Each structure stands twice: as structure tokens, then as C-alpha cells.
Homo-oligomer: A and B are copies of this chain.
């Protein structure tokens, strides 16, 4: 029995045009109705997102817009030029949430959206310009400080919010504001126009492509391509003294993207730019740009990506760092960079059809992104280290390793909100031959294939267990098509059953392909090996040499102080010859599988005042056998403050 497909074209953050050069299309409507991600998304819907308006009010963002609108008086609050983007990112999150069929808007998102839209409309100038910082604080300097001004960055987030709201609800009010600003930007920027320049913080590029997709206005795609092309020519590197400001790589303005050999500079800027470049490459089909983003993604993952998917190794200038510079303690791994990585990799997955991109999406979602928000959805991490030492000092900045209620620079919380609200759209795709399942979650998927409409229900305890069961509730029963299941790159063994019969699917570049004529009611089970495992790093990652990490399925685990009384974590050693034991603990951290390992405490060699000693003076064992208990990294920092480490020394 086949059911009608109500959503023939994409309703999520990406809606490719028919002529886009993409191997896959995001035109499978996915719902997540149970299991791991349903729980995390429920917290997002019921705790994180609803708190947004009050937090934006108390932090001053709404006050600043009201100042720009002439609706209130007083001083501008905060000294950052991009505070409007916190508002529009929240609006985007709320819009995606409203688009979830299971949402009946219990927290009153619609009225908040209307209120904020009215505020933005009131603040917008006749020209279309909208940026409360410049309007209120520096009215005569707009579009003059492109390196730090963030005006186009804010325009991009406005556009993304407007597209989301229009796409999910059909509401046009915010889209009108966005289009007016986009037209103002288009009238201002470009060859022969008032400004030949780029924004120091990429973001508008990907937004403009989506606005093109939403409105059909080719000008927006052209403008996005212009901004991509103009990066890398040193346009932004003027007027500042040598020695204080970062170089042009900070803003991806050192080398044209098509010639770049690796990602560099400010991680979030680089990733947003690459998402936009991939959008442009997808829509234009340009080979050189396509090759560049493929090359840069491979270089980034091979040399600048943490085990958690975290990106950006340096605090200073929020920089990617050099190849293999991946410290556990002082890495930055901004939550926004993880969100941006998911957005970019999903675009790469669609453009190329290769599974590795969704492998990184999975790893980053379960680790790098999810660690950014507390289990209760109310506290955040801006940076996501892989180690907090026993002697950690909390300096109380945004970049602390302790969870914080909100940030002075509050980019990360609404970024997580918008990603979790739109998460179903990252789970499945279609192509001419069939349906691809990228991410595994309990729910349903429906798509209009060339062979006919397909619907399926998915049930899984993933990632607690590795059994993913898919039942075809609707399928053409005479035309064959291909069901493709992503085989995670961490997987060592797996099995596939169709109606209980073992099957050997075609394994193709990370995909398990089942090509056949299907009939409704067919039951496909993918069983992944969820045995806990020890992982080591490329030896060029100096920071974690002589250490292993514990992983289980897509989850990176970590040791936390709370599970290791009687001492700190700095002197723990793992015995890699002993087996790992996985234990489901329903009472712990919302229900997690802990991995237990065997280890001991060591004592250092040498004199007490000098921490270096002859090579052959090795440390001795200072304790008997200890059980090391590793919890999923995403759940860290949800108990008392203390040390944490992902990488555990082996001797």
C-alpha cells in the first residue's frame, strides 16, 4: 500500500533548483519521532528555544533593535556589531521548529516570531539597510569597516531566517524584510558599484544562494558567486597596524578559494564560506570550484579535525591552526564551527553523493555539536575542549570550559537551536535510482522517487544499540529502486537482513546498496557492531601521542572527574591489553552506555621541582588496578565541575 507524498520538494535548509549539479537531492521528508534525537530535539523545543526571547531581551539585543527603530531610548547595549544575528538565528530556529509536523507550538513561537518580525521591520531603513549597531552607534560608517563590521554577516542570518519561515509556514513578512536588505546589498556591492568588497565574516554567501532558490531571483546567486570570487585578494587587509591584527588568512582573504590547499583562519568564517562555495558550485556546476571544496574538505578532515569533529585549534583569533595542531586542552572547537561543519558537509554529501561527508556529519552531531548544550538545554559551551586538567582555572570568559547560561557573544546557542530544529532534513536524500538514509533515527521518511512514491518507518535504539530496522510502508511494487544505507566509517562488522534473511548488499564507497523490486511491508534490518573500541591518532597529532580514546558506535567517550573519586585524572593510565566493558546506565546522564576500562595511577619520575628526567627514568605504578569509566562526550559537564579527558595515556 503506497501513501501519498505530500512534500515533493525539500522543506529544510536546502532546496536545490532542478538544474543543480548534485548527485543527491534533499527531497526526502524525514520525521524523527522517537529515540535519541527525539529526546534531544524535545529539549531543544521545550527548553532551549522557548528561552530565547527572554534572553535576547535581557542581553540587550531587542533593546538595540528598538533603539534602531526609534521605539525606545537609552544606550546601545553590548559593544559588538553583530548582535542582531542572535535574534535572526533564533528566528530561524523557531521557524524550523514550527515546520516540524509534530509541533503544535505549545510555547507560543508564532507570536514571538511575529513580534520580532515587527521589530525588525520597524528597525529597517527605507533603503533596506538593517543593522542596529551601525544605525545607532556608527550611523556614518556603514559598509566602511568590512573586516569587522559584520553587516553582511547579519544580513545573511536575516535571510536564512526569512527563508526558513517562508519555507515552513508560507509567512512572507520576514522574507520581505530580507529581500529588501538583499536588494540593497546587491545594489551596493559588486563590480562597478559603490563597494567592491566582501564581508570579514562569511555567511551571506550561503544565505543568498538559498534566497535565490526560494525566490528564483538569479541576481542573488550571482552576488553570492561574486562574494566567493572576491575572497582571497587581500581586500580586507588594509589600514591596520602590523603586529596586532591577524593576517588576511583570518578572513579567508589570503588566497583565492579555488587555489587554497587547506582550510585556514577563523574556523567559522572559513566553514560558512565553504558552505556558500559548495552551494554556488552545486548551482553553477563549476568544476574548479567543486574541486576546490572537495580538496579542502579532505585536507581539513585529514589534518585539522578533532576526534569529536571539533574544528578550530586555537583560542587566539579562533583559528584553525596548522596541520596536525590539535591540542586537547586548549583547542577551541567552537560550537558554531561544529554546526557550520555539519551544514557544509551535508552540502558536500548532496553534491558528491559520497558517504564520508555524512560520516563526519554523524560524528560532529553526536559529539562536537551536542556537547555544546547541556542535557537540560539551558547551559552552553562556546568552546569544546577534549581535556580539562585537574588544575584548570576558570577565568570566567565566554571561552570557559564550564557551562554558561548565556554568552556576551551569544552566537552558539541559537546556532545549536537552529540545527537541532532542522535536524530531520539532514537524514535522507534521493537520487534517480532511489533513497539514501544518511542518519539513523526512529521516525519515518517519505520521498517521491522516479520509480514512484516511497514511505518507510524506521525504528532504532541507535546509538545505544546498533540495530536499525526499516519497514517499507509504501513503495512501487513493480519498478526496482535502490535503498542505500550509510555504513558508518567507524564500523568494523555489520549485517543486513531483509525480512529476516541475511543479505550481502553491494558495498560502494561507504554505502550499503540494496537494489531490487520492493513491496510494501518489507522489513530491512541493519545491525552495526557497537562494541566499544580504542582509537589512536595519526602520530603527527603530537598532542595525543601515546594515548588512546574510547569510542562506541558514533560516540566519542571521555573520563570525567565525577566517576573517578580518590584522585584526579592527570595521572591515570589505561591498560590497552584489558578488555572494555559496556554498561547501560539508565539512571546516569539521561541514560547512557558507559564504557569501563582497566587502568591505574602512575607516579612521575625525576626530582620534585623539575618535571624532566633521563629517558630511562620511567614512572612507576602508584596504585593497584582501577576501573576507568568513560561516559559519552556529549554528556560531559552535566555534573559537578571537574577534570575531563578524551585521550587517555597508555603508559
In the assembled complex, which residues on chain B have CB atoms less than 8 Å from the CB atom of A533? 614-615
Contact call B323/A395, Cβ cutoff below 8 A:
no
Instruction: Identify which of B246, B315, B329 contacts A397 (C-beta below 8 A).
Output: B246
Considering the chains assembled together, what is the distance between the CA atoms of A314 and B325 in angstroms? 14
Contact call A548/B615, Cβ cutoff below 8 A:
yes
B-facing mask of A543-557, CB < 8 A → 1, else 0? Answer: 111111100000000
Considering the chains assembled together, what is the distance between the CA atoms of A651 and B322 in angstroms? 22
A229 lies within 8 A of chain B by Cβ? no
A592 lies within 8 A of chain B by Cβ? no
Contact call A611/B391, Cβ cutoff below 8 A:
no
Q: Which of A530-549 contact B (CB under 8 A)?
A: 533-549
**Closest chain B residue to A319, Cβ basis:** B395
Contact call A534/B327, Cβ cutoff below 8 A:
no
A570 lies within 8 A of chain B by Cβ? yes
Instruction: Identify which of B301, B330, B389, B608 contacts A330 (C-beta below 8 A).
Output: B330
A604 lies within 8 A of chain B by Cβ? yes
> Of A65-73, A302-310, A413-421, which binds chain B?
A302-310
B-facing mask of A54-68, CB < 8 A → 1, else 0? Answer: 000000000000000
Q: Report the minimal beta-carbon distance from A408 to chain B, rounded to whole angstroms.
A: 3
Q: How many copies does the complex hold?
A: 2
In the assembled complex, which residues on chain B have CB atoms less than 8 Å from the CB atom of A398? 243
Query: With A322-B392, A330-B314, A533-B614 in contact, is A243–B397 under 8 Å at CB?
Result: yes
Considering the chains assembled together, what is the distance between the CA atoms of A278 and B576 in angstroms? 48
Contact call A539/B649, Cβ cutoff below 8 A:
yes
Contact call A612/B241, Cβ cutoff below 8 A:
no
Contact call A609/B408, Cβ cutoff below 8 A:
no
Contact call A615/B545, Cβ cutoff below 8 A:
no
Q: Report the minimal beta-carbon distance from A36 to chain B, rounded to whole angstroms.
A: 23
Q: Which of A378-402 contact B (CB under 8 A)?
A: 387, 389-393, 395-398
A35 lies within 8 A of chain B by Cβ? no
A79 lies within 8 A of chain B by Cβ? yes
A335 lies within 8 A of chain B by Cβ? no
Considering the chains assembled together, what is the distance between the CA atoms of A545 and B546 in angstroms? 6
Contact call A327/B602, Cβ cutoff below 8 A:
no
Considering the chains assembled together, what is the distance between the CA atoms of A533 and B612 in angstroms? 12
Contact call A545/B548, Cβ cutoff below 8 A:
no
A571 lies within 8 A of chain B by Cβ? yes
Query: With A397-B247, A535-B612, A614-B535 in contact, is A408–B548 under 8 Å at CB?
Result: no
In the assembled complex, which residues on chain B have CB atoms less than 8 Å from the CB atom of A501? none
Q: Which of A607-650 contact B (CB under 8 A)?
A: 607-619, 647, 649
In the assembled complex, which residues on chain B have CB atoms less than 8 Å from the CB atom of A649? 539, 542, 545
A84 lies within 8 A of chain B by Cβ? no
Which of the four size classes fits the interface of chain A? 35 or more
A298 lies within 8 A of chain B by Cβ? yes
In the assembled complex, which residues on chain B have CB atoms less than 8 Å from the CB atom of A409? 243
In the assembled complex, which residues on chain B have CB atoms less than 8 Å from the CB atom of A387? 542
From A396, A492, A615, residue with most partner B Cβ within 10 Å: A615
Q: Report the minimal beta-carbon distance from A468 to chain B, rounded to whole angstroms.
A: 22
Considering the chains assembled together, what is the distance between the CA atoms of A111 and B408 in angstroms? 53
Q: Report the minimal beta-carbon distance from A263 to chain B, rounded to whole angstroms.
A: 11
Contact call B611/A538, Cβ cutoff below 8 A:
yes
A324 lies within 8 A of chain B by Cβ? yes
**Closest chain B residue to A549, Cβ basis:** B612
Contact call B356/A407, Cβ cutoff below 8 A:
no
A244 lies within 8 A of chain B by Cβ? yes
A193 lies within 8 A of chain B by Cβ? no
**Closest chain B residue to A329, Cβ basis:** B325
Contact call A302/B608, Cβ cutoff below 8 A:
yes
In the assembled complex, which residues on chain B have CB atoms less than 8 Å from the CB atom of A307? 612
A242 lies within 8 A of chain B by Cβ? yes
**Closest chain B residue to A300, Cβ basis:** B609
**Closest chain B residue to A241, Cβ basis:** B408
B-facing mask of A512-539, CB < 8 A → 1, else 0? Answer: 0000000000000000000001111111
Instruction: Identify which of B303, B316, B407 contacts A243 (C-beta below 8 A).
Output: B407
In the assembled complex, which residues on chain B have CB atoms less than 8 Å from the CB atom of A298? 608-609
Contact call B614/A322, Cβ cutoff below 8 A:
no
A/B interface sample: 25 pairs, CB < 8 A: A78-B241, A79-B241, A246-B397, A247-B395, A262-B391, A301-B610, A303-B611, A314-B315, A315-B316, A322-B392, A323-B389, A323-B390, A324-B391, A330-B330, A356-B609, A533-B615, A536-B605, A536-B612, A537-B612, A538-B605, A538-B606, A539-B649, A542-B543, A542-B647, A545-B649
Additional 14 contacts, C-beta under 8 A, given A244-B397, A249-B395, A537-B612 = A78-B241, A243-B407, A243-B409, A247-B395, A301-B611, A305-B610, A316-B316, A324-B391, A327-B330, A536-B605, A536-B612, A536-B615, A539-B604, A545-B547
Q: What 6 A-B pairs are tightest by C-beta distance, nearest first?
A: A243-B408, A546-B546, A534-B615, A538-B611, A323-B391, A247-B395
